Chain A
Amino acid sequence: MPQARISAHPTLHGTDRNEPALRATRCTACESTFFPPLRLGCEACGASDAALLPVEIAPRGVLRSAATVHVHAGDDIEAPFVVGEIELDEGPRIRGILEDLSGLGDVEAIGRSVEGVWHRCGPDPEGNEVVDLRFRLCEGATS
């Protein structure tokens, strides 16, 4: 029996569709887009909650920086791993875990296009597949 795919962070990414997507916020007053999603008021223009709409955005963008981490306080990942700072095509600058850099060094990978992929965290007690969103370099793409 096929089991469901469950998001490890339902407020950050949905699993309704096959393609990974980020849950973001768009301000209808100033058109700014925010990730993680923003409530209470717009950081760019101060518009109230009423102006803030939930939207789904593509986890695609350009790698602004990357760093191989040796020391951290997370309990769900083994060091070393790579953290990327990503300028999303939709505007926000975010940080995410990079699956691998295809043999490139941290600095060599900067400027490359990246896209979100589902990372399988393992099954939950009901046998559903828990997924987190990570990033990888787009094939052959440079910016």
Chain B
Amino acid sequence: MSVSLSDLRRVSVVGVGLHPYQRPSATPYTELGVHAIRAALRDAGLPWSAVESAYTGTATTAMGLSRLMYRHLGGSGIPMAQVENASASGSTAFRHACHEVASGLVDVAIAVGVDKPLVFRPPRSAAGVVDLVGSRVAPFTAFALMANRYMYEHGATAADFARVAVKNSRNGALNPNAQRRTPRSLEDVLSATPISGPLTRLQCCPIGEGAAAAIVASDDAIERLGLDASRSVRVLASASRSERMHRAEDVDTALTRETTRVALEEAGVTPRQLDVVELHDAFTVEELCYVEAIGISPPGAAPRQLAEGELDIGGRVAVSASGGLLAMGHPIGPTGVGQICEVTTQLRGEAGERQHPGARVGLAHMVGVGSVCLVHVLARE
């Protein structure tokens, strides 16, 4: 019989840490990763020797990269492996770390996301799949098609998409770990270099480098190791689904709806109860489509609710309080773990200037090329 995370023993995030997301530099990935891991250990109040298992979310750097990074914490011989799932690599690493603790195999596990944008090899070319458009359609054009379809269905305007970038740039400006820290006006976003359809450069996320780490632990470990239980954040649900043949609507939107439904049901949470949401806003249109697919906004209502401030920090639900992929950045492997760091920080009430008041329940969502979708629900109890 299959079970879900909620049927197993409790697992909580006890420590988070980041290396700021930044433009590609000469910094080795090992330095990015070790910085984030030490920050997470410090945050948890744990020595590296307490960590029993490590999952590294990474997609664009090098094969078998884990040990050269973890050895700097003191080689402890623990199991470690890379988890590659495109943009959702970090989210998937986190999911496996949670499963290992929840199942009782280990008491403390770490999920680390680390990447430098060195190697991008699309699976379609390796599979020998040829189509009529080839490299003339980049990911941003796939999402430009999504944007124009949304305009057709809901009468949205170019400014409706641009407002997502305005909000997320404002949030990112408050995040010391964000790659883009300049707040942008509606005029800035609309007049930026045109890329595809209604999308301008400032409506497309920057792909840079960075690292993020999240340590998860069982209740036993929290007690045995004397961790601060009041700062631990419980993982209520982990859901992961992959694309099936959808005829009716956009693939990533349909996949988001399906995966979120599984996660919220497992968590026993309704969309209305969400306080903070980090989602895959690689392109502005995605935020509008996904908040509707998650059930935060009714179909077609996201632009109005965004414009009225409902999705702001301090609004009904803070969406991408970190700045999201658009402003915090999207270094691929780290991104999904970075979302867990932000949600955890928000639920602890430790987000400083960008704190969403009264945050108690949070959701993290990523999609990855393939397509795959990962959703986690966290709560402060």
User: Chain A interface (Cβ within 8 Å of chain B)?
Assistant: 9, 11-12, 32, 36, 43-44, 64-75, 77, 81, 83, 85, 93-97, 106-107, 110-111, 132-133
A70 to B203, CA, bound (A): 14
> In the complex the two chains form, is A66's CB within 8 Å of B148's CB?
yes
Interface centre among B130, B147, B149, B195 (most CB of A within 10 A): B149
B-side contacts of A85, CB under 8 Å = 145, 149
Interface hits, B119-150 → A, CB 8 Å? 129-138, 140-141, 144-149
- Work out how many contacts link A and B, with CB atoms closer than 8 A: 91
14 A-B contacts (beta carbon < 8 Å): A12-B130, A12-B132, A64-B149, A68-B196, A68-B197, A70-B193, A71-B195, A72-B135, A72-B138, A75-B135, A93-B247, A95-B132, A95-B133, A106-B148
> In the complex the two chains form, is B130's CB within 8 Å of A36's CB?
yes
Number of interface residues of B (CB under 8 A): 27
User: Which of A43, A70, A83, A107 meets B152, CB within 8 Å?
Assistant: A107
Q: Nearest residue in B to A116 (C-beta to C-beta)?
A: B132
Closest CB in chain A relative to B259 CB, distance in Å: 19
> In the complex the two chains form, is B137's CB within 8 Å of A95's CB?
yes
A110 to B153, CA, bound (A): 10
Additional 19 contacts, C-beta under 8 A, given A11-B130, A70-B196: A9-B130, A12-B130, A36-B129, A65-B146, A66-B145, A67-B148, A67-B197, A69-B197, A72-B135, A73-B138, A74-B134, A74-B136, A81-B136, A83-B133, A83-B136, A83-B141, A94-B131, A96-B132, A110-B149
> In the complex the two chains form, is A97's CB within 8 Å of B136's CB?
yes
> In the complex the two chains form, is B131's CB within 8 Å of A71's CB?
no
Task: Check B269 for interface membership: any CB of A closer than 8 A.
Answer: no
B215-245 CB mask vs A (1 if < 8 Å, else 0) is 0000000000000000000000000000001
